[in-house]
């Protein structure tokens, strides 16, 4: 149920075409909620059919012209209701953790290299988040909207910091 809400959020931030939404998912929203181009277009159709968004009228309609969408009051109400709903945390479902559990019964050959690869990926992601923080949140955010956006980024930074620490300890433990 979260993809339509991610799209409504993005469209409330800025009316966009499907292609622009896909690019925005790749640049920002995709850090915590990924989606394919096809999924976004399919969901845009459903949201438009349900009366939550509409394609903005164009001055000169042309075949093949990209549609730009905006959120209608029903979409804003849906998003506000969803934000207020209680939701329990979801358990971590990471294949690396399952592979480590499997290695306990079949052997850990090759696992150290995979842990090091994951460590490098998390270090790269943390560096990217730090760049975003420096570029977009220095000085510290002052509006409520920017503080909320920054909290999402801080969550990503803290999560990457956790994984780096955990992987570093796991590698050290396996090397002993």
User: pLDDT (tens digit, 9 = 90+) per residue, 78-121?
Assistant: 999 999 999 998 888 899 999 999 999 999 999 999 999 999 99
Separation between Cα atoms, residue 25 and residue 88, nearest integer Å: 24
**Does 55 have pLDDT greater than 90?**
yes
The string of DSSP codes covering 97-142 is HHHHHHHHHH--TTHHHHHHHHHHHHHHHHHHHHHHHHHHSSS---
pLDDT surpassing 90 at residue 33: no
DSSP state of 94: -
pLDDT tens, position by position, 128-165? 999 999 998 988 889 999 999 999 999 999 999 999 99
3-state secondary structure of 23: helix
Contacts of 25 (CB under 8 A, 6+ apart): 6, 10, 33, 34, 35, 40
What pLDDT is stored for residue 93 in this prediction? 87
Asked whether the whole model's pTM tops 0.85, one would answer no
Residue 110 corresponds to which tokens in the numbers above? 């090759």
- Structure confidence at residue 24 as a pLDDT band (50, 70, 90): confident
Cα–Cα distance measured from residue 3 to residue 127, given in angstroms and rounded to the nearest whole number: 27
φ/ψ (deg, to 5) at 19? -65, -45
pLDDT at position 123 over 90: yes
* Residue 94: burial class (beta carbons within 10 Å; 0-12, 13-18, 19+): exposed
Q: How far apart are CA 57 and CA 69, in angstroms?
A: 9
């Amino acid at each position: 149920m979260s993809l339509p809400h991610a799209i409504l959020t993005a469209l409330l931030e800025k009316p966009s075409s499907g292609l622009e939404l896909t690019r925005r998912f790749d640049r920002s929203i995709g850090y915590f909620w990924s989606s394919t181009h096809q999924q976004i277009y399919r969901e845009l159709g459903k949201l438009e059919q349900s009366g939550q968004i509409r394609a903005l009228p164009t001055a000169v309609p042309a075949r093949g012209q990209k549609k730009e969408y905006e959120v209608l009051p029903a979409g804003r109400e849906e998003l506000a209701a969803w934000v207020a709903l209680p939701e329990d945390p979801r358990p971590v479902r990471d294949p690396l953790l399952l592979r480590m559990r499997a290695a306990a019964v079949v052997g850990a050959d090759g696992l150290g290299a995979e842990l090091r690869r994951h460590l490098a990926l998390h270090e790269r992601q943390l560096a990217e988040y730090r760049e975003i923080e420096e570029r977009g949140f220095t000085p510290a955010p002052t509006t409520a909207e920017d503080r909320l956006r920054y909290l999402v980024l801080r969550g990503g930074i803290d999560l990457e910091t956790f994984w780096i620490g955990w992987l570093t300890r796991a590698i050290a433990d396996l090397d002993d």
